[in-house]
Structure 1
């Protein structure tokens, strides 16, 4: 028999907006939104307070549309330093309860509090943590309580803001299974229709689905999700997990030292494709790209640059790496090339400062890339190839 665990998932509510409201008390009770580019009417809403949400303001909504729904909406830019400091202080509070804290993003994390079992009721403990964060940081949060990470994550989403929800395995048929498949943690927005086409409309449908069919359509990942829908999740709360994913990269030693630009740029394209694949597998995007060059004489140089908006696609990574290469290359023969991405952020927290037209274009590109990735998953990475066009410095 597996030992009983007590796992909390803590999720800060409207974090970016709440940080600004805590900083400026005059904003309390008012509709507040954080936007990628608040000075532009075509900027995109990143997050909003619950007062703004009550008026229909939603994430990714253009500013002009949000203002139409809520004329009194106060729009502010994200203050990265305030957000970083608030996150740091919040996780310091969590660490005072247990060393087993796994940061998932800037505003959410898991806690393994198993050693408290028998000492204090879990709901009372959650209430103490929630009250302390509110008192010391003036920030709201929701907490999910469960025997594993998946159920705790699902529980924390069930009651916002300032919710505390318990989700035990015996509660699954009543609380979890009736939920739409779109509400299940781990299922991406772009795959929801694929699940629905199989007749899997709710989490309960997935829990009772044929494993062979799920594996055929979604591979091993599908079987993991099927297990989760039945409440099975043995993953430990790992304090080091967040640190492990601060960078994702690949490097390769060339077959021979070369000055051939076609070989060099084709190699960079292949490296960018590998990095993109790993970023997608981890569900993260990058806010920085680093290029490594090792020359024939073993001299090594690195160059890096931050990007305005988080990136993950091969073309974007390649564009940054190629730009760095052109600036850094001394025309000496190259022996090794490497591309790393850093300052990673979970996809759901990565926002782009887009105007409405490029946002729509981005959606179409995402649909195309999803189709390409489906083909590669079924027939292999070489089923679809992008070619490097040397003269234009772009892909075709």
Structure 2
């Protein structure tokens, strides 16, 4: 971090007091800090405190005559090596996601051409609200790094995810983002990954799904990002943090996933890990289907979902390497070989999910291709992901 310049935007939440310690740690690590204090943040910490800790002027308003005659918000937004929003409140992230620029903080965020790190802190219900989930997904899709909040007791008396991570953890993430990028084996490649299940609604309460946790797909996304790739992760409904450096798009149904895959093209590699539901209900009830006391079960008419893997393999924008997954409970290799021929993929990665794999922490992968079968021993899913990514990098090189 030596010689780096950090622009720190302080949002209006009780966690703002930790920004003072963060300023101290950043400077201790050799970087310079310039603070932007929002109106809300000024209710928790003072500009005087931040100026004393940073040894730089603190900026508070868009309407500073001298600075704005010189287009100060443009210069401020681009003079830093990294923009950090801490704490990033629900309101501040909502305005960031919407592209609103109604104060100094949001204006410079819209004007910056530098990497942005957002560190959320809010009440657990606010963090889990669909609007916040949607906004976080938008920010990550825009390339903003959003840290996962810590879980624990909060100032409001509730318990759960939403606490600001401790300043040393935030400082470590800042150092990671500022570290010189060493070219990885997938540097310059766009890797498209699907992960998790899909949920196919029957009525507003019930849906068709499977036991996929998304852990293997997320581990592959993390390994690809660590290898230097630009990673787009299209995730079904799972409760997993987004790996660092990964752009995540959340979907629910197979049709939504198919549309997201098409929109994410072109890509150099597609790794279709998601356990997509083969069928969906032909008709989705607008209200909960009720028992009528007759003992008769209402019919459930199913129709096939789009075959995302087969469609991708036939696309005129087909990636150079298409990797499908096959979760099997019997005759694993036979089914994988048949799927390879049927779908037109380059590889099918097969695994036996009859026991502990779905939702578990370990996996044994069999990479089936026209050249034969390459079987990996049982290992943790992150290790299996790293091994698969190494093989993909070898092929592309």
* More helix per residue: 1
Structure number with higher relative contact order (C-alpha < 8 Å, ≥ 6 residues apart): 1
TM-score of Structure 1 vs Structure 2, range by shorter chain = under 0.3
* TM-score when normalising by structure 2: 0.27
